[in-house]
Amino acid sequence: MLFKYTPEGAEPQEWPFAPEKLMSSECEAIEKVTGMTYQEFSVKILDGSVMARRALLWVLLKRTEPTLRHSQVDFPAGAVELQFEQHELKALRDAISADDTMDNDARAKVVDALDEQIEDPEVEGPKAPESSDASPSSETSPTTSTSRPKLASA
């Protein structure tokens, strides 16, 4: 994933972000300022938690500004976003395609939405079967919830 920060009037910054690759001291700092376990943080950041995103931005900025305090990090909510990389989108598509616990219509809509985000949608694995026996909820589609991160820029 890429974590992007676009401050007003300044150059955008981005960092590769893999939750399992943050240093333990950074994980502990995130736990301290958020009150969440690192596992909870990892889920919340994907769900769009501003608290989690602020803590991550703080930790990433501290790498070049060691004296930066968490209380000094403030930004418009739209200034940060997570973007999945192409290989991550493909892996997500494959996992969702193989998930037989999802409703067929919901699975098809999510796979179609992912295919629109993937530059080369030719991936192994069957496309979700079409069916019309139920409608998807907003939680099953990665492109319908404003609290969830954008999967990739168009």
Task: Indicate the SS3 state at residue 111.
Answer: helix
In contact, 139 and 103? CB cutoff 8 Å: no
pLDDT class of 152 with cuts at 50, 70, 90? very low
Of 12, 38, 14, which Cα lies nearest the Cα of 24? 38
> Whole-angstrom Cα distance, residue 1 to residue 70?
23
pLDDT class of 100 with cuts at 50, 70, 90? confident
Note the pLDDT of residue 105.
87
Note the pLDDT of residue 120.
60
Each residue of 33-80: pLDDT tens digit?
999 999 999 889 888 899 999 999 999 999 999 999 999 999 998 999
Question: Which residues 6+ apart lie within 8 Å of 31 measured at CB?
Answer: 37, 38, 41
In the chain, where do the E strands start and end?
2-5, 13-16, 80-83
Of 27, 46, 29, 47, which Cα lies nearest the Cα of 38? 27
The structural domains of the chain, with segments of one domain joined by +, span 2-83, 85-145
Note the pLDDT of residue 103.
85
* Better pLDDT: 31 or 98: 31
**Burial level of 122, CB count in 10 A (0-12/13-18/19+)?**
exposed
In contact, 75 and 7? CB cutoff 8 Å: yes
Which DSSP state fits 5? E
Note the pLDDT of residue 53.
96
